[in-house]
Structure 1
Amino acid sequence: MREIDSAEPARRIDSAEPARRIDSAEPARRINSVAIIGAGTMGAGIAAVSAKAGCRVLLLDVDEAAAQRARDSVDADFQELVSIGSVDDRLDDIAGYDWVCEAVIEDLATKRELFERLEAARSDGSVISSNTSGIPLRQISEGMSERFRRDVAITHFFNPVQVMKLFELVPGSDTEPEVIEAFARFGAERLGKGVVHAKDTVNFIGNRIGCYFMLSGLHQAKPFLADGMTPETIDAVLGAPVGLPPTGLYGLIDLIGLDVMELVGANLAQNLPPGDRGLEFAQFPAAEQAMVARGQLGRKTGGGFSRRLRLDDGTRKTETFDLVTGEWRAATEPDLEGVPAELGAVLFADSPQGELARHIFGGTLAYAADLVPEIADDIANVDNAIRWGFNWVHGPFEMLDHLGPARVIEFLHGVGAPLPAMLATLEASGQPTFYSPSADGTRQQLMPDGTVAPVAGAPIEG
Structure 2
Amino acid sequence: MKRRINKVAVIGSGIMGSGIACHFANIGVEVLLLDIVPRELNEKEKKQSLSLEHKQVRNRIVNDALQASLKSNPSPIYHQDFAKRISTGNLEDDIAKVKDVDWIIEVVVERLDIKKQVFDNLEKHRKPGTLITSNTSGIPIKFMNEGRSDDFKKHFCGTHFFNPPRYLKLFEVIPGPDTAKEVIEFLKEYGEKFLGKTSVVAKDTPAFIGNRVGIFSIMSLFHQVKDLDITIEEIDKLTGPLIGRPKSATFRTVDVVGLDTLVHVANGLHENCPNDERNDLFKLPDFIEKMMKNDWLGSKSGQGFYKKIKNKDGSSEIKSLDLNTMEYRDKQSPRFELMNKTKSIDNVAKRFPILIEDDSKAGKFFRKNFAALFAYIQNRIPEISDELYKIDDAMKAGFGWQHGPFQIWDAVGLEKGIELMKEEGYEVADWIQDLSASSQKTFYSVKDGNTYYYDIPKKEQTKVTGQDAFIILDNIRESRKVFENKGVSVQNLGDGILNVEFRSKMNSIDGDVLNGLNHAIDLAEKEYNGLVVSNNGQNFSVGANIGMIFMFAVEQEYEELNAAIKYFQDTMMRMRYSSIPTVAAPHQMALGGGCELSLHADKVVASAETYIGLVEFGVGVIPGGGGSKEMTLRAAQTFQKDDVELNRLREHFLTIGMAKVAKSAYEAYDLNILQKGKDIVVVNDNRRIATAKKYALLMAEQGYTKPVKTNNVKVLGRQALGAFLVGTDQMMAGKYISEHDKKIANKLAYVMSGGDLSAPTMVSEQYLLDLEREAFLSLCGERKTLERIQHMIKKGKPLRN
TM-score band by shorter chain is 0.7 to 0.9
Tell me the equivalent position of 1:106. Answer: 110
8 A Cα contact 1:49 1:162, kept in partner = yes
Tell me the equivalent position of 1:116. Answer: 120
Tell me the equivalent position of 2:218. Answer: 214
List gaps (5 residues or longer) in structure 1: 1-8, 13-30
Instruction: After superposition, give the CA deviation of every residue in 1:389-439 in whole Å (9 maximum; x if it has no partner).
Output: 11111011111111111221234345553114553342143312111123x
8 A Cα contact 2:367 2:420, kept in partner = no
8 A Cα contact 1:369 1:396, kept in partner = no
Tell me the equivalent position of 2:693. Answer: none
Tell me the equivalent position of 1:314. Answer: 314
Tell me the equivalent position of 1:182. Answer: 186
8 A Cα contact 2:371 2:420, kept in partner = no
2:7 aligned residue (17, 33, 42): 33
Which AA in structure 1 matches 2:35?
D
- Offset at residue 265 of structure 1 (A): 1.4
Q: For the residues of structure 2 that align with 1:145 and 1:428, how far apart are their CA atoms?
A: 50
Tell me the equivalent position of 1:145. Answer: 149
Q: TM-score, normalised by structure 2?
A: 0.52
Which AA in structure 1 matches 2:453?
Q
Question: Bigger radius of gyration, 1 or 2?
Answer: 2
Of stretches 393-402 and 109-118 in structure 1, the one that deviates more from structure 2 is 109-118
Tell me the equivalent position of 1:353. Answer: 362
Q: For the residues of structure 2 that align with 1:61 and 1:175, how far apart are their CA atoms?
A: 26
2:351 aligned residue (343, 348, 353): 343
Tell me the equivalent position of 1:11. Answer: 3
Report the 3-state secondary structure (helix = DSSP H, G, I; strand = E; otherwise coil) of the residue aligned with 2:179: coil
Is 1:323 paired with 2:318?
no
Is 1:434 paired with 2:477?
no
- Offset at residue 136 of structure 1 (A): 1.7
Q: For the residues of structure 1 that align with 2:422 and 2:231, how far apart are their CA atoms?
A: 31
Tell me the equivalent position of 1:280. Answer: 280
Tell me the equivalent position of 1:446. Answer: 454
Report the 3-state secondary structure (helix = DSSP H, G, I; strand = E; otherwise coil) of the residue aligned with 2:213: helix
Q: Aligned pairs, how many?
A: 431
Is 1:256 paired with 2:257?
yes
Which AA in structure 2 matches 1:50?
F
8 A Cα contact 1:49 1:161, kept in partner = yes
Of stretches 311-320 and 351-360 in structure 1, the one that deviates more from structure 2 is 351-360
Report the 3-state secondary structure (helix = DSSP H, G, I; strand = E; otherwise coil) of the residue aligned with 2:228: helix
Which AA in structure 1 matches 2:234?
T
Tell me the equivalent position of 2:85. Answer: 81
8 A Cα contact 1:242 1:346, kept in partner = no
8 A Cα contact 1:243 1:343, kept in partner = no
8 A Cα contact 2:378 2:432, kept in partner = yes
Tell me the equivalent position of 1:198. Answer: 202
2:412 aligned residue (374, 388, 403): 403
Q: For the residues of structure 2 that align with 1:124 and 1:201, how far apart are their CA atoms?
A: 28
Tell me the equivalent position of 1:28. Answer: none
Tell me the equivalent position of 1:334. Answer: 334
Tell me the equivalent position of 1:367. Answer: 376
**Identity percentage over the alignment?**
37
Tell me the equivalent position of 1:167. Answer: 171
Which AA in structure 2 matches 1:253?
V
2:402 aligned residue (393, 396, 420): 393
Distance 1:241 1:56, change over 3 A: closer
8 A Cα contact 1:425 1:448, kept in partner = no
Tell me the equivalent position of 1:418. Answer: 427
8 A Cα contact 2:128 2:152, kept in partner = no
Of stretches 412-421 and 162-171 in structure 1, the one that deviates more from structure 2 is 412-421
Q: For the residues of structure 2 that align with 1:292 and 1:71, how far apart are their CA atoms?
A: 28
8 A Cα contact 2:368 2:424, kept in partner = no
Which AA in structure 2 matches 1:417?
Y
Q: For the residues of structure 1 that align with 2:421 and 2:23, how far apart are their CA atoms?
A: 45
Tell me the equivalent position of 1:23. Answer: none
Tell me the equivalent position of 1:133. Answer: 137
- Offset at residue 85 of structure 1 (A): 0.7
Q: For the residues of structure 2 that align with 1:176 and 1:371, how far apart are their CA atoms?
A: 25
Q: For the residues of structure 1 that align with 2:89 and 2:338, how far apart are their CA atoms?
A: 59
Of stretches 315-324 and 333-342 in structure 1, the one that deviates more from structure 2 is 333-342
Report the 3-state secondary structure (helix = DSSP H, G, I; strand = E; otherwise coil) of the residue aligned with 1:373: coil
Q: For the residues of structure 2 that align with 1:323 and 1:312, how far apart are their CA atoms?
A: 27
Of stretches 325-334 and 412-421 in structure 1, the one that deviates more from structure 2 is 412-421
Q: For the residues of structure 1 that align with 2:226 and 2:60, how far apart are their CA atoms?
A: 45
Q: TM-score, normalised by structure 1?
A: 0.88
Q: For the residues of structure 2 that align with 1:433 and 1:187, how far apart are their CA atoms?
A: 29
Report the 3-state secondary structure (helix = DSSP H, G, I; strand = E; otherwise coil) of the residue aligned with 1:308: strand
Which AA in structure 2 matches 1:41?
I
8 A Cα contact 1:158 1:166, kept in partner = yes
8 A Cα contact 1:370 1:422, kept in partner = no
Of stretches 202-211 and 262-271 in structure 1, the one that deviates more from structure 2 is 262-271
8 A Cα contact 1:36 1:103, kept in partner = yes
Is 1:48 paired with 2:52?
no
8 A Cα contact 2:172 2:199, kept in partner = yes
Q: For the residues of structure 2 that align with 1:101 and 1:220, how far apart are their CA atoms?
A: 39
8 A Cα contact 1:372 1:421, kept in partner = no
8 A Cα contact 1:71 1:82, kept in partner = no
8 A Cα contact 1:56 1:81, kept in partner = yes
Q: For the residues of structure 2 that align with 1:324 and 1:293, how far apart are their CA atoms?
A: 17
- Offset at residue 132 of structure 1 (A): 1.0
Report the 3-state secondary structure (helix = DSSP H, G, I; strand = E; otherwise coil) of the residue aligned with 2:337: coil
8 A Cα contact 1:372 1:378, kept in partner = yes
From the two aligned structures, give the one with the greater helix fraction: 2
Distance 1:421 1:329, change over 3 A: farther
8 A Cα contact 1:373 1:448, kept in partner = no
Report the 3-state secondary structure (helix = DSSP H, G, I; strand = E; otherwise coil) of the residue aligned with 1:384: helix
Distance 1:70 1:306, change over 3 A: closer
Q: For the residues of structure 1 that align with 2:424 and 2:281, how far apart are their CA atoms?
A: 22
Which AA in structure 1 matches 2:3?
R
Which AA in structure 2 matches 1:397?
F
Distance 1:267 1:69, change over 3 A: same
Which AA in structure 1 matches 2:456?
P
Distance 1:415 1:66, change over 3 A: closer
RMSD of Structure 2 on Structure 1 (CA): 2.0
Report the 3-state secondary structure (helix = DSSP H, G, I; strand = E; otherwise coil) of the residue aligned with 2:338: coil
- Offset at residue 144 of structure 1 (A): 2.8
Q: For the residues of structure 2 that align with 1:222 and 1:134, how far apart are their CA atoms?
A: 29
Distance 1:432 1:352, change over 3 A: same
Tell me the equivalent position of 2:648. Answer: none
Tell me the equivalent position of 1:5. Answer: none
Instruction: After superposition, give the CA deviation of every residue in 1:2-43 in whole Å (9 maximum; x if it has no partner).
Output: xxxxxxx4420xxxxxxxxxxxxxxxxxx2210110011111
Q: For the residues of structure 1 that align with 2:150 and 2:368, how far apart are their CA atoms?
A: 46
